[in-house]
Every structure is written in C-alpha cells, then in structure tokens.
Amino acid sequence: MPSTKLDPIDRKILAELQEDGRMTNVELARRVGISAPPCLRRVRTLEEAGYIRGYHADVDPRLLGFEVQVFAMVGLSSQAEADLVAFEELCRSWPLVRECHMLNGEIDFILKCVAPDLSTFQSFLTGQLTAAPNVASVRTSLVIRGAKDAPGVPFDVMEERLSRSA
C-alpha cells in the first residue's frame, strides 16, 4: 500500500465521495469521466492507502436528543509524554467526548463534547473530566449555534495550489 501520488481523477473521486459518500460507483465513475471498473479499483486503492479512512452518515445531534454541545479547553499539570497519552486514552473511553485534539500554547487539549442536556454534561464535567488525574484546568464554552460544518478538506484549494505549482 504505497502512498503513490494522486492524479486528477483520484482527487476528483475523493472530492465527490467527501461530498456524497453513498454515491453509487457508476454515478461516481460518470462524474469523474471513466468507466465503472477502474473507478472501483481506484476507490479500493484509495481506501487501502489510507486516503479514505471511512464513510459516515452525518446525523443530527439535536434531533436525536443531544441538545448540548460544548468545547472544553483542558490544561494538564504534567506534559510528559506518558501523561499526555494517559489523558488521550481517557478521552477515548468517554463517549460524550467526540473529538480530542492536542494543541500548542497554554491550552493542552481541546475537546468537543455532546450531551443530552446541561445537567448530564455538568455531571460529566465535575465527576469525570475535572476529576481526572493530571487535569489542572478546564474551561468550557457552550455552542450557541453552529454556523459551518464542512467535512474534511477543501479540494478546490488543493487544485488551485497544484495548478499554480505546475
């Protein structure tokens, strides 16, 4: 599974599947301008090479009863690698934490969390997150409303750069 360079058709496939991950292979093939068999082979190759990590339905948290979304900025008291990894592992074990990113600067981690209601989140915050070993500070901000939620990467920016360097 070598990460050989992508050609324009591969990039178009990725852009299309990022936009609509459930598109049929023949429709995808039609859009990228090749026939179905090579298109399917390319998709499999892209999956195996790791360009495509998976396919996910994008569900509406609020409709499903997750009314609360929160960003939590976490500072640790020790940044030793073992302690960082321990905290990351803890985040992976918490279902309410959907994303966890390690950052530079004063904040060590940013967490995106969801919860059915505020009291559920508060009890997670005080009982689990703030109480976890090595956690020095937690600042939380409720999401008032979402303004943009685009998946993955901007392929138009990518194409623009590639044509500039050509």
| Interface ranges with its own copies (CB under 8 A) | 3, 6, 14, 17-22, 49-61, 63-66, 69, 71, 88, 91-92, 95-105, 107, 109-110, 114, 116, 139, 141-154, 156-158, 161
Residue 42 is encoded by which pair of tokens?
Answer: 């390319």
How far separated are the first and last CA of the chain, in Å rounded? 26
For 25, the enclosing helix (H) or strand (E) is helix 25-32
Of residues 103 and 131, the one with the C-beta less far from its own copies: 103
Widest CA span in the chain: 57
Find which of DNA, its own copies, none residue 72 binds, CB within 5 to 8 Å per kind. Answer: none
Find which of DNA, its own copies, none residue 113 binds, CB within 5 to 8 Å per kind. Answer: none
* Interface of this chain with DNA, residues 21 to 50, rule: CB under 7 A: 24-27, 34-38, 40-42
Which residues lie closer than 8 Å to 60 by C-beta, 6 or more apart?
none
**Pairing, β 109-115 against β 68-76:** antiparallel
Which residues lie closer than 8 Å to 40 by C-beta, 6 or more apart?
25, 29
CB of 29 to its own copies, least distance (A): 15
Find which of its own copies, DNA, none residue 56 binds, CB within 5 to 8 Å per kind. Answer: its own copies
Of residues 63 and 82, the one with the C-beta less far from its own copies: 63
Measured CA to CA, the distance from residue 62 to residue 52 in angstroms comes to 27
Residue 67 has a CB neighbour count (10 Å cut-off) of 15
CB of 15 to DNA, least distance (A): 15
Of residues 5 and 164, the one with the C-beta less far from DNA: 5
Find which of its own copies, DNA, none residue 24 binds, CB within 5 to 8 Å per kind. Answer: DNA
CB of 43 to DNA, least distance (A): 8
